[in-house]
Structure 1
C-alpha cells in the first residue's frame, strides 16, 4: 500500500528542519552558476534545493572532512544533469568544493563538470549522467553493503556495516528500461538499505510527461517489492519538507527498498520559469534570475553566501565529526570482539591476493582439449576458495558461462528460503544491463572482486555500464562466453562478429581473449593484479592446450602478447587470439613444410600489449617484419594497425550462420588453408 502525506505550508514546515536562508542561498548559487556558464540544468537544482538540504543535514550519514570515510552512507544523484544541485550542496556542507569551483561550473579543467564524475570532485560517489545508471549503480552498492554486513558481522545488532544508500532520481531515470531491471533486482534482494526519492515534476525536455508516460509508478514499484510513499506539494507550491522528513522517518518494512514519490514544480519559485520545459536544460536568463531573487525576497549578490549560512556549514561538519566518533567506537568494539575477523576484513578492503593462490590455480597438460570457459570456471573455484571478496553470477547463464561458485550458496534474503545474504552466487535473471550497472555499484562499495557472465553477443546490452566502469576504472570482470561463430547452431543472432572491435574501442577497457586453458588461468591471475575493468572472452568448444612452460604463459598473458612458436629467420608472422592461435600453429607447420618460416604470436590482449615498453613490443613484433597475418574469428576492424600495410587479416566481416561449429567456421573462412594462403601472399610481397 502506498502511504500519502498530507500537504503543509512550506513557510511553517521548515522550522526546526532546515534553514530557509540556506535553501535560498543554494537556489541562487545554482541559478548563478548556470547563468555564468551559459549552460546547464537549473530548473531541477532550484526546485530541489530544499530536498538536498534536508538530506545532507538531517538524514545522510557523512563527514565532509573525510569524503572517503568507510562508515558513510552513499548519495547518488541519478539525474546527473542537475549536477549543480549536488555541487552547491557539497559546498554548503563543508566539502572541498569552493565558491570558485561553483563559478567555474562546466568550464575546462574545473572540479565541477557538467555531470558528476567519480574521483574528480570530493563527495561524488559515482559518475552519473546517462539516465537510470545512478539508480542501478546504487542497487549494486546496497547489495554490497548487505553482503559485507552478512559476511563480516552477521550477528551484530548495531553494526558499523549498517550503511544506507540514498538516490535522487527523475522521470527520465524511471523511464529508462534499465530502471525496470534495477527495480526488480532491488525488490528481489529485499534491499531495505536503499531509499530512492523520485522527483515527480511532470516535466521533461519535450514538455509534459503525459506525452510519454501513463503508468502508475507507485503500483509498478510495489509490484516489484518496494515500499512506496508519496509526498505532495506544500500548500504554497514548494517542496513539502516536513512531509518528506516525516516520510523518511516513518516506520517501514526493513526488508524492502523504499521509493518516495515527491511532487515538485521545476524551477520553483522562479515566476516565469516554474513548471516549464525550458527551465530543464537552459539558463533562466538574467531577467528571470532577478525575478527569482525577488520571489525569494533576497538581495544576495551573485555567489554570495551569508555569514549565518557559513555558520550552518560548521554545524554540518560538527555533525559529521560526531557521527564519525560514534562509528569509530563501534568499529573498535567490533575489532576487539574478533581480531581475526577484523584482520580478514582489512585484507578484504585492500583486495589482497593471497600468496598461495598461484599454487592453488589449476594447470593443464599440453595436448588436452579444454574449452576456455571450462578453464575459467575452474579458476573461479580456486580463487573463491582463497579470496572471500570474490562473488558474482550471470544473466541466467551460470551453467554455460561456468560462473557458479561451488558451495557458495545464493545471494538472496533468508526470507526466500532460497539463500542467504552471505551467498556468493548472484542470480541476476535475464537483466544484462542491470547486472552490469549494479556491478559498478558493488565495486564502488569497496573490497569486492565482482564478476558477471553472459554470452559475448549480449555485451551489447551492457555497453553503457561498461563505458562507465571504464570512465571510473572500476575493478569489475565480465565473463563473456560463446565468443565466435564456433558456438554453432544457435546461428547469427547469437554469434558475435563486431563485438570485440567495439569493446576494444572503449578507452580504458581491457579485452582478454585467451588461447587455451592455461592462458585462461593466467588471465584470471593477471586480472587479480590489476585495478581495472576487464572482459574475459571465452570459447565454448574445446581447444588444444599449448605446449608452453607455465611461467612463459603467465608472463606472456600479463604482457598481452608473446611468441608461442619461433624461428631464427621468420619469413612471416602470424598473430592470433583465442581459439585461432591453434589454427595459426597448424598453419605454421604447413608453411614450414613448404619452406616458409613463420613466427606465431598469441595476443590475448591488445590493451595490455600496447601498455608494454617500446622495446618489448619491438621484440615481439619487429617493425622490420612486415609480412603479417592476423587471425581472429571476428570483424577485421581495428586490426589494420597490427597487420600493417603489407599484411592481411583473416577475419569475419559478415554475420554468421546456423551450422555445427566446424562448419560455421569453415563457411566464414576461419581455416588453416585460408591462413596458409594469406601467409604465402604476404611473404612474397616486396
Structure 2
C-alpha cells in the first residue's frame, strides 16, 4: 500500500497502524512517500512526529530509501518481503515536483497544474521530448503489459488454490437462512441487542463468511460469535476480531474484508459512537460494499450514562447516506428478520440499531413487512380519513401499540405502522407505500426516540399530524424516568393524538 504525508496526519493512520502492529500482520508493506509538503506548505507547519520511531513503537519494521533511486527501491522491497512477524513501513524520501524548474519541493505543485512552460522544463529535466504531449515510450507500455499478464496469471492460480473465496459477496441460501432463524415468543421481553446476539450466533454456522467484532464493546453489543475463535497476533483462524477502541479503523477494516471477497465483515459499537465511523460508512455506501454494522444503545433509553452516550440526531444522519440501509427493529422477531435482510443484501452496506433496555416481543410482526421497510402491525375500526394512523420505529412501536389500543377502548379507529427501515420503505412501489400509509388517512402521529428531521415527508398537512420525537439532548437518569420527562409514555402519546383536529 502507499500513503503520503497527509495520510500520516490523519487519525485513522494511528488507529489502523497500531492495530496492524499488534496483530503482527507480516504480509503488509506500507510505502510512505515522504516529501514533507502538503497543500499549505511544509509539513513542519503542523507535524513534528518522528514517523520511524512512531511505527517502531507500534511493532513495525521500518526501512528507508531514496524514493527516486530505482535500484534502492528494488533492494528495500526485497528486504521487506522477507520480514516475518511484523508489518513493514518503507519511508521513501522524495521531492514533490521532482525536476520542475521552479516548483521542485514546492507546495505550488501539490494540487495545481504545472502549466505549459513548467511542464516543458520538467520534461527536459527528465529526458523526455518537451514537444511531445501524452507520450509514453513503447518500452514502458511493454513493461506494464507484461507485468499485467504476470499478475493475471498469479491471480488465476490463487483463485484455483482458494475456490472457497468468492470474488464478491454472495447471499446465503434463503431457505437455510429461514430455517436457522430463531423465533421469539410473543408476550416475553428481551432487549433487541440480546436478540441480535442470539440471531448472529444462530446464523454463524450457515454463514461462515461472517467475520468481525466490536470496538471493545462486544459484551454490550452482543456481537461475539461463540465457539468460532479469535483473531490474535499471528493467528487469523478465528472469526472474532478485537478491534480495541478504534471505531473508524474497525469500520474501514470491515469494509476491506468484505471488499476483498469471501468475507462479510461486520463491526459494532454504541450508536452514539457511530460518528467516529462515518467516513468509512460513507465509503462503503459509495463503493456498494455490503458490510454490516451493529449499533446498540440506540436512544435516550441508555439512561444513567447521560447525554454524551444518548444518540439523538444519529438515526437521521444514517438515513441520509445514499445507499446505506438502516434497520431499527421493534422487537426480537423484527431483529431476526432484519438480520436476514442484511445478509441477503449484497448490493450495499447495512446497519442495525438495537436497544439496551428490554422491549416486548410483539404480535403481528411479519418478515415480508420488514423486508419492505414498513407494514401495518395492528389496526382496528373503519379505516378511513378519521383513522388515527401511528407510525413508529424501534422501541416506540410497542408504545404506539399501547396508545392505539387504549384509544380503541374509547371507540376510535386506529392503525399502527411499524417502520424498521425508512429507506427500504421509500424504495417500494408507490402502490405498496400507499397501502401501508394511505394518503386518505391524514390524521397521523409519528413516534420515534430521535430527532424529527426526515419524518415530515409523511405529513399530509400540519394541522392533522403530530410528532412525539426527541429534539433535544438527553439526560442522566433511570430510563423510565427519562421516558416520562421526554414524553415517551402511553398517556402523553394519547394526549398528543387527541389534539389532532
Structure 2 equivalent of residue 584 of structure 1: 400
- The superposition leaves residues 301-344 of structure 1 with CA deviations (integer Å, 9 ceiling, x where unpaired) of 454325xx234323432343344445545655x47xxxxxx4x5
Structure 1 equivalent of residue 197 of structure 2: 377
Distance 1:249 1:573 in 2: 69
Q: 1:488 aligns with which of 296, 299, 303?
A: 303
- The superposition leaves residues 119-169 of structure 1 with CA deviations (integer Å, 9 ceiling, x where unpaired) of xxxxxxxxxxxxxxxxxxxxxxxxxxxxxxxxxxxxxxxxxxxxxxxx111
Structure 1 equivalent of residue 214 of structure 2: 394
CA shift in 2, pair 1:347/1:669, >3 Å: same
Structure 1 equivalent of residue 287 of structure 2: 472
Asked if the contact 1:630/1:643 (under 8 Å) is kept, the reply is: no
Distance 1:469 1:461 in 2: 14
Structure 1 equivalent of residue 490 of structure 2: 672
Structure 2 equivalent of residue 291 of structure 1: 121
State the TM-score, normalizing by the size of structure 1: 0.70
Structure 1 equivalent of residue 47 of structure 2: 213
Distance 2:433 2:307 in 1: 36
Structure 2 equivalent of residue 557 of structure 1: 370
Asked if the contact 2:439/2:460 (under 8 Å) is kept, the reply is: no
1:172 aligned to 2:1? no
CA shift in 2, pair 1:503/1:423, >3 Å: same
- The superposition leaves residues 56-96 of structure 1 with CA deviations (integer Å, 9 ceiling, x where unpaired) of xxxxxxxxxxxxxxxxxxxxxxxxxxxxxxxxxxxxxxxxx
Asked if the contact 1:401/1:481 (under 8 Å) is kept, the reply is: yes
Distance 2:282 2:166 in 1: 30
Q: 1:544 aligns with which of 347, 357, 360?
A: 360
- The superposition leaves residues 160-180 of structure 1 with CA deviations (integer Å, 9 ceiling, x where unpaired) of xxxxxxx11111101011110
Distance 1:392 1:190 in 2: 18
Task: Quote the offset at 1:349 in angstroms.
Answer: 5.8
What are the ranges of 5 or more consecutive residues in structure 1 without an aligned counterpart? 1-166, 234-238, 336-341, 415-419
Q: 1:601 aligns with which of 417, 436, 450?
A: 417
State the TM-score, normalizing by the size of structure 2: 0.95
Aligned residue pairs total: 494
Distance 2:65 2:293 in 1: 40
Quick check: 394-403 or 646-655, which moved more?
A: 646-655
Q: Residue 412 of structure 1 aligns to a residue in which SS?
A: coil
Distance 1:492 1:288 in 2: 56
Structure 1 equivalent of residue 36 of structure 2: 202
Distance 2:5 2:377 in 1: 55
Distance 2:157 2:398 in 1: 59
Asked if the contact 2:169/2:290 (under 8 Å) is kept, the reply is: no
Distance 1:220 1:385 in 2: 40
Q: Residue 53 of structure 2 aligns to a residue in which SS?
A: helix
- The superposition leaves residues 588-622 of structure 1 with CA deviations (integer Å, 9 ceiling, x where unpaired) of 01111222211000000001000101100000000
Distance 2:151 2:283 in 1: 31
Distance 1:635 1:616 in 2: 26
Distance 1:295 1:312 in 2: 18
CA shift in 2, pair 1:263/1:457, >3 Å: same
Distance 2:174 2:404 in 1: 40
Task: Quote the offset at 1:665 in angstroms.
Answer: 1.6
Task: Quote the offset at 1:376 in angstroms.
Answer: 0.4
Q: Residue 350 of structure 1 aligns to a residue in which SS?
A: coil
Q: Residue 280 of structure 1 aligns to a residue in which SS?
A: helix
Distance 1:354 1:611 in 2: 21
Task: Quote the offset at 1:253 in angstroms.
Answer: 2.4
1:438 aligned to 2:266? no
Structure 2 equivalent of residue 15 of structure 1: none
In the TM superposition, 1:608-623 aligns within 5 A as: 608-623=424-439
Distance 1:648 1:670 in 2: 13
Structure 1's consecutive aligned runs of 4 or more residues displaced over 6 angstroms after TM superposition are none
Q: Residue 356 of structure 1 aligns to a residue in which SS?
A: helix
Structure 1 equivalent of residue 474 of structure 2: 656
Asked if the contact 2:216/2:245 (under 8 Å) is kept, the reply is: yes
Distance 1:509 1:346 in 2: 23
Distance 1:331 1:446 in 2: 11
Q: Residue 499 of structure 2 aligns to a residue in which SS?
A: helix
Task: Quote the offset at 1:300 in angstroms.
Answer: 4.8
CA shift in 2, pair 1:511/1:217, >3 Å: same
Task: Quote the offset at 1:200 in angstroms.
Answer: 0.8
Structure 1 equivalent of residue 144 of structure 2: 316
CA RMSD of aligned residues (A): 1.8
CA shift in 2, pair 1:221/1:353, >3 Å: farther
Distance 2:269 2:147 in 1: 45
